[in-house]
Chain A
Amino acid sequence: MTKRGESVRFFSFLVFGVLVFGLLIYRLAQLQVVQGPEFRERSEENRIRFVELLAPRGVMRDRHGKLLVSNRPSYTCYGIPRDLYGDSLATTRVGLALAVDPHEIREVILKPVRNTYRPQRLRRDLPYTLLARFEELRDQIPGAYLEIEPKRFYPYGVAPHLIGYVAEIAEEELAKFPGLQTGDLVGKRGLERLYDKELRGVKGSKLSVVDVHGQEVESGGELGRVEPVAGSELWTTLDLDVQMLAESLLTDKIGSVVALDVRTGGVVVMASSPSYIPDVFAGSISSSDWRALLSDSTKPMLNRSVQTMYPPGSTIKPAMLVEGLESGAISPSWGVSCPGSFTYGNRTFKCWKKGGHGYVDCTQSLAQSCDVFYYKLGLQLGVDGINRAMSRFHFGSPTGVDQTSEAAGLIPSEAYYNKRYGPNGWSKGFVVSVSIGQGEMLATPVQLAAFAGAVATGVWRQPHIVDGVYDPGSRMLSRRADFIVDTLDLSSEILDYARHGMTEVVWGAAGTARRQQNDSLRIAGKTGTAQNAHGDDHGWFICYGPVDNPMYSCCALIEFGKSGSGAGAPVAGEVLRDLIRRELFPDLYREKAPEEEKNAEQEDVAHAGDFR
């Protein structure tokens, strides 16, 4: 490069440098010299506070759009560590005002971050009594303030097991939920857990200037704000009114009711009893309430519809009959003579009817629930034949309904017996009691409801509760369509034997559930009475209807109910008939609607206005 070129290059670099460094010095002078006093003031009262704005969790609706779960405003108290920690009198006062141990506030919440102005949550969901106390003491507690935050609200308190609950995330869960921090709320069970991501929404934030007392400066205090994004709504297949009916029918009983729409697999009712009031979880649950719930021997937290396995008893007889006919083990004209008991090897197995049923054919075997018929059929099928009979209807594995901790149930097989008792440790006699749904066999109420639906329609459909996720922000509805639909490959002739038998259970002169006869609605069903080592027998009833055009299936289980016909059938029958009536005669129910909706949200009131 020429000498001249070099100096041009040198001077152009120099000019560039002088300009940029000059800009920097100009800016420093502007900030420090011109605006210096202003910034000095700002740094002295400092206080820019960064506040997270919680997103309202998505609501849940029933199939008519009624709210099952929504949100209501609640007061949360926050404290500024820098202001509060140094002032032990103030922490004591805060503790008194909030009814929280002052020592915990100081040492656990504030101490790790004592030099910062990052607000720490001291207590969620202040009750009104404490709110008044806090307001009284407010002037003496610098650095504590209230924020309004959304909190779960259960307008009817229905279906707590199925809805689940939210609570503060546990330390060990943090890794499982990327993006969540200590103190955030997260779904713990049920739909709240499974759809946590959809329901959660996105937190917002605001940056605001606060005064020495930690209060936001009144004018121009807010420097920036990012609105939280509400979570998506869950559109469920539940029917709020019938759910409430089912829950009331279970009052003072232990048990479960599940009803499905057999045309879709949608869960219309899923009730479990004993129950609990979901509001105890809405804020922060007190440890004594929590302990009481956990130690209750009736296990109110358990969703018996999906989490508990029971011997299904006689309710599985239709599956046995179908397998017998399908495999050719028996012909449709097969029948047995029931003397009231059956002897196999050196053991005698009783029929539930001591005097015996006399001669029973396929239809009557179901209608009268003859055990001897099924002992003999079971021996013909063998343990693996019974396994096939049950597996066909998806027993022995979780149905995949959108609930947490679903139990699989159990159907014995040769492999299972070999493993459990050793290859020579069991005999064919084991099969006898399994043939009537006793012994090793276990199933859940939701499996049986799906089974009843499969018999009714010839198609097994995966039960599900949520069929749509609706984002109110973008107004986008995504329908779930990933449900398993298993066309069972059974001829309708064979299924008709089971259907006919189940119809006779209710309508036959000797049917075990003939008390469920109702002039207007023809439903079919099957009773079941499961022996229970811990007390009275459990009572089952599975049913579907109307017989000619099945719409719904229902399964009721009453623990210690003594019998299926006496305890299960009245509950399942009433729920099923109510569902069918509501669909066939909607006008009958509409008139009541505005009355019932009194307490519901405004939207629903507006909706009800259509037929006022």
Chain B
Amino acid sequence: MSSKGRFSDLWLVLSILFLLAVGLISNFATSYADGTGLYYFQRQLFWIGLGTVLALGILSLPLRVFEMLAYLVYGLSVASLILVLVIGAKHKGATSWFQFGSIQLQPSEFAKIATLIALARLLSENQRDLDRAWLFLTACALALLPMGLILVQPDLGTALIFPVMLFVMLIWAGIAPKFLLLLAMPAVAVLTSWLLPLHIAILIVFVVVAFVTVRNIPWVAVLTGLYLAFGALTPMLWNKLEPHQQRRITTFLDPESDPLGAAYQLIQSKIAVGSGGVAGKGFLNGTQTQLQFLPEGHNDFIFSAFAEEWGFVGALFVVMAFFVLFYRGVAIATKCHAPFHSLIAIGVTGTIIFQTLTNLLMTVGFLPVTGLPLPLVSYGGSSMLVTLAMVGLLFSTALRWREY
């Protein structure tokens, strides 16, 4: 049993090292054409080094420490999110950076890890109250507060991670399904409010199924009310927005409406990925990448650049590496005895994999452009540090799975 466990974690380590290497060579390749290749390579290497030290530090500490400090760290992180709105630097229209000399730090990245630990502590300490409203509401508040602050910046992509993290951890903790519905109904209502027949149809199906299965009339009434309220509120709020705010959202949902920005990126990304073919064009030979057709090549679209030069074979390796991360993460979470450990493991896995899938499905044209980087691969200091710190936490739970 133990030897098998170690062997499996070796796969996890190999996958992560592979992804970091992919990131390094892709950063070099995407900025090779304008002569800054080595610069990005070195910076990325620096962040990986720093992140590894951080991860090893986390690994060496007992998880108990994180459990104890959870709420303190969370509080500091929320404070830094407020601070960045006041004194932060502007970059591409969003106020999300602290500038320290030549180094920029993004508190929203650190808020992810702080929220994750706080949620894990809250849910593991109160397992008996999983069907109580207070616990559900507190968990929601913990996740939605930083999300709200990040939405103000505005950084829609990063903000989206929080409800997903919340949802995954609530399911994993075994929250009462009625609360999951409470979380899902407003989301469904907002998403379908633009299409009235669908909106109504979903409501009818829900009411019928709820009556047949649960028969808890007050509860069904609350959910229906919530659904209708959000459905009605969305168009009203929409009309209150300024045209440029509306445009930001329509572009987010439908990049074709902005051919200058998002659609151009998506088309170029698809050409880059597709033209890679089975075997790829070869290192530094990707025309899309080298001729700078591909925007944000070392950032959001780094996978497209890699897929162009390394083809379906290379892309498959990357996808499989992420799948190993996913599979091992869920397995570790299942194996852990302590609920806190287990929730940490699933939270880390869920967060990283959600970002991965959002990014990859975007580069192949299945999702709108969200601005989420590819974990472990994309260029970026804060993102790399936090991802490696999360990986450190995951390893820590894998190492300490026997603890109670």
Residues of A within 8 A of B (CB): 1, 5-7, 9-10, 13-14, 17, 20-21, 23-25, 27-29, 31-33, 35-40, 42-44, 46, 48, 50, 52, 82, 115-117, 205-207, 223-224, 226
B353 within 8 A of A: yes
A residues in contact with B353, CB < 8 Å? 17
B residues in contact with A32, CB < 8 Å? 273-274, 276-278, 307, 311-312, 315
Interchain CB contact (< 8 A) of A29 among B288, B293, B312, B326: B312
In Å, the complex CA distance between A43 and B276 comes to 10
Stretch at the interface among B41-49, B57-65, B187-195, B327-335: B327-335
Task: List the A residue with the shortest CB-CB distance to B286.
Answer: A43
CB-based contact A24/B307 at 8 Å:
no
CB-based contact B277/A207 at 8 Å:
no
CB-based contact A31/B319 at 8 Å:
no
Cβ contacts A to B, 30 pairs, < 8 Å: A9-B174, A21-B323, A21-B357, A25-B316, A27-B361, A27-B366, A28-B312, A28-B315, A28-B364, A29-B312, A31-B270, A31-B273, A31-B274, A32-B274, A32-B278, A32-B307, A36-B274, A36-B312, A40-B275, A43-B293, A44-B287, A50-B259, A52-B260, A115-B292, A116-B291, A117-B293, A207-B259, A207-B263, A224-B256, A224-B263
Interchain CB contact (< 8 A) of A43 among B287, B307, B366: B287
Interface size range on B against A: 35 or more
B360 within 8 A of A: yes
CB-based contact A28/B330 at 8 Å:
no
Known: A1-B174, A115-B291, A117-B291. A17 touches B323 (CB 8 A): yes
Least Cβ–Cβ distance between A47 and chain B, in angstroms = 9
B33 within 8 A of A: yes
Task: List the B residue with the shortest CB-CB distance to A206.
Answer: B259
A residues in contact with B275, CB < 8 Å? 36, 39-40, 42-44
CB-based contact B278/A6 at 8 Å:
no
Known: A28-B307, A223-B267. A43 touches B172 (CB 8 A): no
Closest 6 pairs between A and B when the two form their complex, measured CB to CB = A39-B274, A36-B277, A43-B275, A32-B312, A39-B275, A31-B274
Task: List the B residue with the shortest CB-CB distance to A225.
Answer: B259
B268 within 8 A of A: yes
CB-based contact A39/B270 at 8 Å:
yes
B272 within 8 A of A: yes
Interface-central residue, B275, B307, B311, B322, by most chain A CB under 10 Å: B275
B residues in contact with A17, CB < 8 Å? 323, 326-327, 330, 353
Known: A13-B330, A33-B312, A224-B259. A24 touches B357 (CB 8 A): yes
In Å, the complex CA distance between A23 and B357 comes to 10
B401 within 8 A of A: no
Interchain CB contact (< 8 A) of A48 among B34, B268, B287: B268
In Å, the complex CA distance between A207 and B174 comes to 50
1/0 per position for B252-271, CB-CB distance to A under 8 A?
Answer: 00001001100110011011
Least Cβ–Cβ distance between A253 and chain B, in angstroms = 49
In Å, the complex CA distance between A226 and B259 comes to 8
1/0 per position for B156-187, CB-CB distance to A under 8 A?
Answer: 00000000000000011010000000000000
B residues in contact with A35, CB < 8 Å? 274
In Å, the complex CA distance between A31 and B366 comes to 12
The majority secondary structure among interface residues of chain A is helix
Least Cβ–Cβ distance between A286 and chain B, in angstroms = 32
In Å, the complex CA distance between A224 and B273 comes to 21
CB-based contact B264/A50 at 8 Å:
yes
In Å, the complex CA distance between A33 and B270 comes to 13
In Å, the complex CA distance between A264 and B278 comes to 75
In Å, the complex CA distance between A465 and B268 comes to 49
CB-based contact A50/B364 at 8 Å:
no
A residues in contact with B327, CB < 8 Å? 14, 17
CB-based contact A37/B267 at 8 Å:
no
CB-based contact B319/A24 at 8 Å:
yes
A residues in contact with B34, CB < 8 Å? 115
Known: A28-B364, A43-B271, A50-B264. A33 touches B259 (CB 8 A): no
Known: A40-B275, A42-B271. A9 touches B292 (CB 8 A): no
Task: List the B residue with the shortest CB-CB distance to A116.
Answer: B292
In Å, the complex CA distance between A308 and B272 comes to 62
Residues of B within 8 A of A (CB): 33-34, 171-172, 174, 256, 259-260, 263-264, 267-268, 270-278, 287-288, 291-293, 307-308, 311-312, 315-316, 319, 322-323, 326-327, 330-331, 334, 353, 357, 360-361, 364-366
Known: A5-B174, A226-B259. A46 touches B319 (CB 8 A): no
In Å, the complex CA distance between A31 and B34 comes to 28
In Å, the complex CA distance between A82 and B291 comes to 9
Interface-central residue, A10, A32, A46, A50, by most chain B CB under 10 Å: A32
B residues in contact with A6, CB < 8 Å? 334
Known: A25-B319, A207-B264. A37 touches B277 (CB 8 A): yes
CB-based contact B361/A24 at 8 Å:
yes
In Å, the complex CA distance between A10 and B259 comes to 42
New contact pairs (9) apart from A48-B293, A205-B260, CB-CB < 8 Å:
A10-B330, A14-B327, A17-B330, A21-B326, A23-B366, A24-B361, A36-B274, A52-B260, A82-B291
CB-based contact B267/A207 at 8 Å:
yes
In Å, the complex CA distance between A226 and B271 comes to 22
B residues in contact with A14, CB < 8 Å? 327, 330
Interchain CB contact (< 8 A) of A39 among B271, B323, B331: B271
A residues in contact with B293, CB < 8 Å? 43, 46, 48, 117
In Å, the complex CA distance between A71 and B287 comes to 41
In Å, the complex CA distance between A371 and B355 comes to 87
A residues in contact with B316, CB < 8 Å? 25, 28
Task: List the A residue with the shortest CB-CB distance to B311.
Answer: A32
Task: List the A residue with the shortest CB-CB distance to B275.
Answer: A43
In Å, the complex CA distance between A175 and B101 comes to 25
In Å, the complex CA distance between A458 and B158 comes to 65
B residues in contact with A5, CB < 8 Å? 174
CB-based contact B264/A33 at 8 Å:
no
Least Cβ–Cβ distance between B265 and chain A, in angstroms = 11
CB-based contact A43/B256 at 8 Å:
no
Known: A24-B357, A115-B33. A33 touches B291 (CB 8 A): no
Least Cβ–Cβ distance between A158 and chain B, in angstroms = 36
A residues in contact with B366, CB < 8 Å? 23, 27
Least Cβ–Cβ distance between B34 and chain A, in angstroms = 7
A residues in contact with B361, CB < 8 Å? 23-24, 27
Known: A43-B272, A43-B287, A223-B267. A27 touches B364 (CB 8 A): yes
Task: List the A residue with the shortest CB-CB distance to B272.
Answer: A43
In Å, the complex CA distance between A9 and B334 comes to 8
B residues in contact with A7, CB < 8 Å? 334
B residues in contact with A21, CB < 8 Å? 319, 322-323, 326, 357
In Å, the complex CA distance between A588 and B256 comes to 58
In Å, the complex CA distance between A33 and B172 comes to 37
B residues in contact with A38, CB < 8 Å? 274
Least Cβ–Cβ distance between B344 and chain A, in angstroms = 15
Task: List the A residue with the shortest CB-CB distance to B174.
Answer: A1
Least Cβ–Cβ distance between A79 and chain B, in angstroms = 16
A residues in contact with B171, CB < 8 Å? 9
B residues in contact with A116, CB < 8 Å? 291-292
CB-based contact A28/B287 at 8 Å:
no
B residues in contact with A20, CB < 8 Å? 357
In Å, the complex CA distance between A44 and B357 comes to 29
Least Cβ–Cβ distance between A232 and chain B, in angstroms = 16
A residues in contact with B326, CB < 8 Å? 17, 21
Task: List the B residue with the shortest CB-CB distance to A179.
Answer: B244
Least Cβ–Cβ distance between A249 and chain B, in angstroms = 47
B residues in contact with A40, CB < 8 Å? 274-275, 277
Least Cβ–Cβ distance between B119 and chain A, in angstroms = 17
B residues in contact with A206, CB < 8 Å? 259
B residues in contact with A28, CB < 8 Å? 273, 307, 312, 315-316, 319, 364
Least Cβ–Cβ distance between B334 and chain A, in angstroms = 5
In Å, the complex CA distance between A31 and B365 comes to 10
In Å, the complex CA distance between A485 and B33 comes to 65
A residues in contact with B311, CB < 8 Å? 32
